[in-house]
Structure 1
């Protein structure tokens, strides 16, 4: 594990219609892991689009604002997160983990903070999120995890929303469409049990035949991607 002098700030970002307790198990598991590895940390749960009490339609429209193909950062969810944490980061390392629409807000917030110099060393993890275009200069700092079925096919409908595509042209050739032009630097499927809302479940029936729960699969893959950075 690399030696770091600064502490780690972890932000867990919820998607639409999410209950206030949805990240409880995830937060506890992350606290256990980071503590066992001697990493000083704080973990904060944020709701970029409000909690389950807000209008679903209003939340969906706000998520859409964070999925624009334009490369400018910070729309509704991203700006909300930025406003909540911009005065507390203080140059520390920051890890943003966003589920569903929270993944879009996580990227937008991180980009805003990076642009203004509030954070320099950060990573963004998108879990079951819509496809948000990632600026090429930041792609290696962003990972994307989605659910797959027993055949390895994507089976989370939310992960089909949005696009990473863009036109590419080399010299005088005819432009071609590159569906991964603005994709995150790392993309991986996770064989979870259940549906879009279940990536962080840790009890029955969200366990496979070997009694491995969705939470352990998700956190395990995220931790593997972060191995060198942490």
Structure 2
């Protein structure tokens, strides 16, 4: 979509490199992209993009800059609306969770995620990944508004579905499907089938990329 807009504005095919790959349905508030050649004006790009996609800034970068390779960390947020009734205002932006939710359990699990671990259990079995260790520098649950909890996680890189499976598994701990010790064991390279469900994509957002 953005490559098509760039081609229309710049008048030539343009291949993008993005800092963070997102699954269909995942939002991206802080995505960063790079391409060869001169940048196109953000206003011109926004004039041909659909209304739900916007370029905030389009500026020259140092020679050789690569949005993906040069990124030091990525920051994601997953929103959970924890109450009996769904909300039209959170529709498509937060997972509606009407089951049991124990914030203390969530925080204990999140604290375990911080650090360097083998996240094999938190990515699909069929994968192109060859390295499953990731260095997580931030992992915490915060209040995100009335009845909303947000899981914030920042790491060097992420694997496919990693954040969504982490969230689904932590919610499973709250539901009694696993205890905290079982969750901790998953961080030692256990197989995918031992972890919990994959949370739906619409609660997840790429918030920032740091260089």
- Which category describes the TM-score, using the shorter chain as reference length? under 0.3
TM-score, with structure 2 as normaliser: 0.26
Structure with bigger helix share is 1
**Relative contact order (alpha carbons < 8 A, sep ≥ 6): 1 or 2 greater?**
2
Structure with bigger strand share is 2
Structure showing greater radius of gyration is 2
TM-score, with structure 1 as normaliser: 0.25
